[in-house]
Chains A and B, each alone.
Chain A
Amino acid sequence: MTAAFAALAFLMTGLATAQTLRRAALWRLGAAAPVDWVSGLAKLPKRYLVDVHHVVARDPYASRMHAIVAGGLLAATMLAGFAILPPLAGSRFYWSVVALAFAMTLAGSLLVGARRYPKTPKRLSKGGFQRLPFLLLAYAAGGTAAALSIALSGPENPVLLVALLVAAGGGLGLAYEVKDGPMRHAVAGALHLIAHPRQKRFEQGRPDAALLPLDLDAPKLGAELPADFTWNRLLGFDACVQCGRCETACPAFAAGQPLNPKRLIQDLVGALAPDGPTYQGSPYPNARPVAGEAGPLFKVIGPDAKIHPDTLWSCTTCRACVEECPMMIEHVDAIISLRRHQTLELSAPPQKSFETLANLREADEPGARPLTARGDFAAGIELPVISKRGEADVLLWLGDGAYDMRYGRTLRALIKLFHEAGVDFAVLGEEERDTGDLARRLGDEATYQGLAKANIETLQKYRFNRIVTSDPHALHALRNEYRAFGGDFEVVHHTAFLLELIDAGKLPTGKLDAGTVTYHDPCYLGRYNGETEAPRKVLDRIGLSRVEMARHGRRSMCCGGGGGAPIADIPGDARIPDLRMAQAAETGAEMVAVACPTCTAMLEGVTGRTAEIRDVAELVLMAVETGRADEPRRAAA
């Protein structure tokens, strides 16, 4: 009978492998992708224990639950397999260890069950997941009883058969579930960690968020069919455990726009394998009707397909979902691939973006404003242009906030501070084109690459040490995304630069007495670039009393301004910036400090807001001015 126990372990492994292979046949429909299996496999433990754990641990209950149940399951099954070795099979001590492992699994199973019963939290999917605790329970309880009975009364005992049958029911059920059920996440998740399409995200210690360049000579541009994704991306979608963490983080979901990243990933899974179990999690809010036709070779996007275009265009590319996903799924990459196909092959970006995209293509500027007018905001302040000098220490990238009346105030403050600190800087003047960020997020990679190459060529004409910009979108493009096109620049955000100036004593600041302030992290600075500290330090240096919103730092919530979402303007129940300002209001802060032109515009556009919106640069200038006003007084005293 002990052999039967071992056989169960092997049977389970065999069944799981068979199920995995059946599923893998679908992954193989995807496009080829180079994968270094050996190195990936070697790095798997670290990726699992560090990277995955880092995310999972944000939910302590889930973290504990998962560690116990997964660890128990793995250990118990492996140990049980060793029963084929006769010396072990006869050892009571061995069987008590096996029993202990199963008991641990049992405890974990109870935790799993307790999370879903009596009431399943909203963000969790039901369906097969509601069965999972029972399968686990059967396997763990049966296993515990069987191993315990052997340990206590030897291999021939009356309990054993019944217990083993129960364990087999649960265990084989779990193994069977590897193809279409909840247990798929375990196998696909592990394989995904090995064959992840962004290996760098585990290695460089900061986010790897640059979109991958699209080969404009490829036979098809962007993803139209599930099979157009590379196979390891399809594998990644299969890794989703429907934990709903992405859903809770998604600003578009919160605003009632028809997007739910979890559902989106499940729709991609369902598009690849239409006969799988139906999705039983929360829907897209205000879901647009779709005919739902699907298949590996059927288009993914369209009212007649699986995913409505409005879903695709609701995304702000804020990466909150990616940040939260314990399975390391890259939602934004998938969304951009799909968008690329819509825009580049079908002329089907959102209607409201037609003009903007045409402007970017034909006038290098989203509003078709003359490039010569970019510096107009600075009227009366000296704004050196690099073409007149050929070089400067700092190249100031103005971005398209320069055309905005409100944001001009921020840029004027920044430039005044530069003059105050004696920074040797210059701007590109009329040679500065849009970075193309917007075109790229709207799927127009061709226009983006044109702009990127033109900007790189311009930048390479001049000598400067660093680029400073107040626009995190520009920063991300210049620092991370231009690299693929040969642009290698050191780019500093203005908040980091101001911190440097203050710490170097070049900006004598007074203390601001402006009440409490809360800082809103721009997605493209915090999540995309991992920079959350410098702006906070600046605020602290100038004496502001700072409070944090519940969501801040890398887990901050988007203002709604990224990814072309304000242009697509997909209607929902609320506006994302309104939600964000409500969160700011909860802190009681009188002022919201921002560090991005888009955030400024989005948050200022909130009606009936009680808090002021001020860019960090404006606050520093205020501090410098108070410092100056205080000086004579101090001197007199």
Chain B
Amino acid sequence: MRIAVLLSAGRHPVSGKPTLPRTEAQAIRMAAGLGAATGLHVGPDAFPAEAALGHGLDYAAHIACAAGSDPVGPLAARIVSDAPDIVLAGRRGQGGDETGLVPYAVAARLGVPIVPDAVAMRPATDGLVEIDQALPKGVLRRLVVRTPVVVTVHPAAPPPLPFAFGKARRGSIERIAAAPTDLAAGAPPPEERPYRKRPKMMRAAGGSAADRLKAVTGEATAGGAKVLDHQTPEDAAKEVLAFLRRVGVLAPASAAGPGRRPAASEDASRHATS
């Protein structure tokens, strides 16, 4: 099986240093288990391709293009000429707009299906591949998909192999002159301002009025910090269960019954109907 891994120019979330986004490094590890993998980067700098070699690719192509131009066209053109069975991409970029739209646009341009959020892949019988897709809270969806296919990688996939300086040195990068590209399509860049962290909405599956008020006003944790001393174990148990229900991890007493949360539904634990 032949795999192309799409590489993007990311930034480290804390330091802001150029890095290969983690999910793309995970994609490289996943690709290594499937067959012969090559990398593909479109952008002004070669560093994502270089980093990808360090994470395990032997070869990557770097298509130079001006900053800010749309990578979808050159990516799709190159993929068409290489005709890999699987195109792997990260789930979202990292450090840019982070819309996660590029893989979809590439898939649309290629006219091949896209499967998001893979955590594991195995080649199945001819022309088919088995993909485990991550859903919230450890639920998986196992898909059998016809190739060629574009697949994005979920952060819960096996961690990337560490960058190895020696590998980065050994691998090769093919530099390909820029294809003439359209500048990023669509609207002018949106207005930007410094990010302000806002309190998260609480999962309100019941609880007291005060709790839900806090959910709205942002005094986050359920009931604030509360320490209970000198309680009987029985009262303590009641407090614990009430808390667990308030934060929505334990089904209410009247619902499915202890420990029998309806497993297959993603939201059953958050929100049980009475």
Contacts and interface: CB of A to CB of B under 8 A. Distances in A.
Interface of A: 216, 220-221, 343-347, 349, 351, 353-355, 357-358, 361-365, 368-371, 444-447
B164 A368 contact: no
6 contacts: A343-B162, A345-B166, A347-B162, A354-B162, A363-B12, A368-B12
A567 to B, nearest CB: 12
A349 B162 contact: yes
B161 interface: yes
A368 B162 CA distance: 15
Contact of A357 (B15, B19, B162, B167): B162
B164 A343 contact: yes
A351 B159 CA distance: 9
Nearest to A372: B14
Contacts of A346: 164, 166
Given A347-B161, A349-B162, 5 more contacts: A220-B166, A344-B165, A351-B159, A358-B163, A368-B15
A362 B165 contact: no
Contacts of A353: 162
Contact of B164 (A347, A355, A365, A370): A347
Given A362-B12, A363-B14, A221 B159 contact: no
A47 to B, nearest CB: 36
A361 B163 contact: yes
B15 A345 contact: no
Where chain A touches its partner, the secondary structure class is helix
Interface residues of B, number: 16
B73 interface: no
Interface of B: 12, 14-15, 17, 19, 55-56, 159-167
A302 to B, nearest CB: 16
Query: Chain B's interface: helix, strand, loop or mixed, by majority?
Result: loop
Contacts of B15: 362-365, 368, 370-371
A124 B215 CA distance: 68
Contact of B165 (A351, A355, A363, A446): A446
Given A354-B159, A355-B159, A363-B17, A345 B164 contact: yes
A355 B12 CA distance: 13
B55 A369 contact: no
Contacts of A220: 166
Contacts of B165: 216, 221, 344, 444-447
B160 A354 contact: yes
The 8 tightest CB contacts between A and B, nearest first, are: A446-B165, A345-B166, A363-B15, A347-B164, A347-B161, A344-B166, A362-B12, A221-B166
Contacts of A365: 14-15
Given A347-B55, A347-B56, A347-B161, A368 B167 contact: no
Contacts of A351: 159
A446 B168 CA distance: 11
A343 B12 CA distance: 22
Nearest to B19: A362
A358 B26 CA distance: 13
A221 B165 CA distance: 9
A355 B17 CA distance: 16
A342 to B, nearest CB: 9
A576 to B, nearest CB: 25
Contacts of B159: 351, 354-355
Contacts of B162: 343, 347, 349, 353-354, 357-358, 444
Contacts of A221: 165-166
Nearest to B165: A446
B197 to A, nearest CB: 14
Most buried by B among A346, A357, A361, A362: A362
A369 B12 CA distance: 11
A478 to B, nearest CB: 22
A627 B165 CA distance: 54
Contacts of A354: 159-162
B166 A370 contact: no
B14 A368 contact: yes
B25 to A, nearest CB: 8
A361 B15 CA distance: 10
Contacts of A355: 159
Contact of A370 (B14, B19, B56, B161): B14
Contacts of A358: 160, 162-163
Contacts of B166: 220-221, 344-346
A370 B164 CA distance: 24
Nearest to A371: B15
Contacts of B19: 362
A345 B163 contact: no
Contacts of B12: 362-363, 368
Contacts of B163: 347, 357-358, 361
A344 B165 CA distance: 5
A440 to B, nearest CB: 13
Contacts of A447: 165
Contacts of B160: 354, 358
Contacts of A361: 163
